[in-house]
Chain A
Amino acid sequence: MTSRRDLFIDLSVELTGYSRVQLLGTGMSERYLQALDEVLPDGMVDEFLATSAALPTMTIDAILRSETWGPVTRNIMILWYCGRWTALPDSWRAVHGTRPADSNHVISADSYQAGLQWVAAGAHPAGARQQGFGAWTVAPEEAAS
């Protein structure tokens, strides 16, 4: 049986455009799954992962259009790219309830540094993973490709 984490990673590959190896390489997959458990009502994470396990017959487009799963799915993308959770919309909370962890916050110092946005930008997280004296004078890899 596929583990919860594997289901989460499989879905996240589809959502982020980054490979399984790249996502595992952030070291954040367990922590992000835990964040989901903290925010969503009991049992809802597993329900969500089961829904996504129906891919590809279930499409990402359909998930994003879902009033229940759309806001959660968009938040997962922001989680991987920015390392932060965004409070779910009031309309979503009205239906599913509110947990204390459902607030705008950075998951941890590590998640901030692990954000995929820095990789996408061809850069490094501000204040971490310094590139070395003068590295900023060199053309970004983007310019060469």
Chain B
Amino acid sequence: MSEHRSDERANGIDDAQHDVVVVGAGIAGSLVAKRLTQAGFSVLVLEAGPATAAAFDDYSNHVQAFYAATSKGPESAWPPAAGVPQPDTADIRTGDGYFVQAGPLPYGSTYTRLQGGSTLHWLGVSLRMLPEDFQLQSSYGVGRDWPLDYWALEPFYGEAEHEIGVAADVVDQTHLGLEFAPGYDYPMHRIPPSYSDRLLAAAVDGMTVNLGEDQLALKVRNYPAARNSMPRGDYRPVGAVDQRRAGQGDGHGLARDLGQRCAGNTACTPICPIQAKYNAGKTLAQADGRTLQVVAQAVASKIQLDPVTGEVRGIEYQRYDDPASARHTVHVARGRVYVLAAHAIENAKLMLASGLGSASGMLGRNLMDHPSIYGWGLASHPVGPYRGPLSTSGIDDLRGGPFRARHAALRVDVGNDGWRAPTGAPDSTVTDAVANRGLFGTALREHLRSTLSRHVRFSLNVEQLPSRSNRVSIDPRYVDLLGNPRPVINYDIDEYTLAGMAAAKRVYQEVFRRAGIKDCTDPEQGVWFPSVAYQGDTLHYHGMGHFAGTHVMGNDPAQSVVDTDQRCWEHRNLFLVGSGSFPTMGTSNPTLTLAALALRTARHLAKELST
């Protein structure tokens, strides 16, 4: 199937030496590529998947695919190439997808292997981690401490918020010890809260819940979102990407009149049709094209080492022309430094497949997620769901506090999307009315009007600590069509997190009662999700797509895979960037933090490459 090519010019791919070879055109790789090309360095980006999100016409085909898809899951708009499989939510139940689920519990999250990565279908929540999240071990005696503190990352958070384009007001965010640089504010004003957010806040703000011995007051807050809103100062929102192939388009990488404001498509996941929500293609389109080379449909398969120095001397990759076929040719990319930005799972997988990074015994371990609980109910009056961004507010007060010595912290996401995620509504509501209730005609229409308009959904995202036994590994028995290993996932949820999940369930029930929302949560009737028994109860959990921890960062080479610059301890011209570097994740969605880390690494690299 494959053939080695020494003369790679036949494919238009030269074997020139680049300053930097980046593996992965997701957010981390794109930020590194943008920064380093702008600093004058030559950067080659290898992207495993097709680049079908880069031209707007092609992107629109993905929108059409979503419309026509039978299942509207996160992956529905983004089918992978044959040789570049990706995990799919539907496979979690069957257990026969890309991941080899080795148990004891199924890992519930997925990601996308296309140019743009999982930012193509992320929700866009861009919370900073709390200062206390960086010192969990010293503060509460659990998890690990980061080798960096919040203030070491704070300037890069600000930089990342401007690169991504985050809409929020600092005044809403300064709580739980979160501080911002003096005079700082987000590049865009907050996304306006939904009508239902305001009703909920009126009912809930000020109520208290008990977590262990802590009594905590709740407040519904707008959260920072990577969605275009009204700009602050001279910031210009970045709209849709429209990189045409040679000879097409007007030569601009970004559409100038589309996506500059969120228009309420209520489809952040799986696809924002106008790209008002950030995706990594926007960053890549802003890189300096004079020194950037992007090769899509190029799967990094092996890292080559210099046996004398132990440094990386090349990355083998498999280039395919036809996304429907496994036919490919093998090439080698060469640079002065190498940056793996392929995703927490794919970074670890590539290292393992290359026989690297084994010294600390930590590679692939400490895999985390935010196992999350759904609660859904009926408000007493219409609240206007199925409109606006999928969510605009949350309850953040349970993200931090002394209770974390005993159980996991949690964050409440308050949906604008009705019961869509947990039950498949509105379709499932229609089916129930027709098939189970026997309704038709005006009675059917009236039933749907009165119920759909009152749908409320919470998702409670629970912190998970690093554990050595939660890991990705490889096994020669399990390979994909290109012969690359499929990730073998061992995953469990420990007592600390289970207790947090149980608390999450109690919290949404108390909030529903307070707000007069009738609890209709019934996992047996909803979309299938994995479950785990805890203290006589069954907790159904869904993944948040928040992979972290597979190449943990630390100060001690015996206990970590990368240092604070995300440089691999064992191979000094190799960097592993992304949420794989996180020692812990707290309750923040990881994208903003991994972006801040990538920008910090890019700054370090720009300095190092100049000397």
Contacts and interface: CB of A to CB of B under 8 A. Distances in A.
- Which of B69, B381, B387: most chain A Cβ within 10 A? B387
B453 A122 contact: yes
Contacts of B193: 137
A64 B449 CA distance: 22
Interface string A3-17: 000000000001111
Nearest to B267: A127
A90 interface: no
A74 B387 contact: no
Contacts of A117: 426-427, 429-430, 448, 452
A54 interface: no
Contact of B438 (A64, A78, A124, A140): A64
B80 interface: no
A116 B446 CA distance: 12
23 contacts: A60-B441, A78-B427, A81-B448, A105-B70, A109-B68, A113-B67, A117-B426, A117-B427, A122-B382, A122-B452, A122-B453, A123-B385, A123-B387, A124-B266, A124-B386, A124-B387, A132-B263, A133-B263, A134-B192, A136-B194, A136-B387, A142-B384, A142-B449
Contacts of B266: 123-124, 126-127
Nearest to B228: A133
B264 A132 contact: yes
Interface size of A as a range: 35 or more
Contacts of A77: 430, 434, 440, 444
A120 B452 contact: yes
Given A136-B192, A142-B384, A17 B445 contact: yes
A136 B388 contact: yes
Interface string B420-459: 1000001101110011001011111110110011000000
A136 B264 contact: yes
Given A82-B426, A138-B195, 4 more contacts: A81-B430, A110-B67, A126-B267, A142-B453
Interface residues of B, number: 57
Nearest to A105: B70
Main SS at interface, chain B: loop
Contact of A122 (B72, B198, B273, B384): B384
A86 to B, nearest CB: 7
A104 interface: yes
The 8 closest A-B pairs by CB, nearest first: A136-B388, A17-B445, A123-B386, A127-B267, A140-B384, A109-B67, A142-B382, A121-B452
A127 B265 contact: yes
- Which of B382, B418, B442: most chain A Cβ within 10 A? B382
Nearest to B381: A143
Interface of B: 63-64, 66-70, 72, 192-195, 198, 229, 261-267, 271, 273-274, 381-389, 392, 416-418, 420, 426-427, 429-431, 434-435, 438, 440-446, 448-449, 452-453
Contacts of B420: 126
A44 interface: no
A74 B441 CA distance: 11
A106 interface: yes
A65 to B, nearest CB: 10
Contacts of B434: 74, 77-78, 81
B443 A140 contact: no
Given A77-B440, A137-B194, A126 B382 contact: no
B202 to A, nearest CB: 13
Given A106-B67, A106-B69, A128 B389 contact: no
A16 B427 contact: no
B68 A104 contact: no
A118 B386 contact: yes
A139 interface: yes
B490 to A, nearest CB: 34
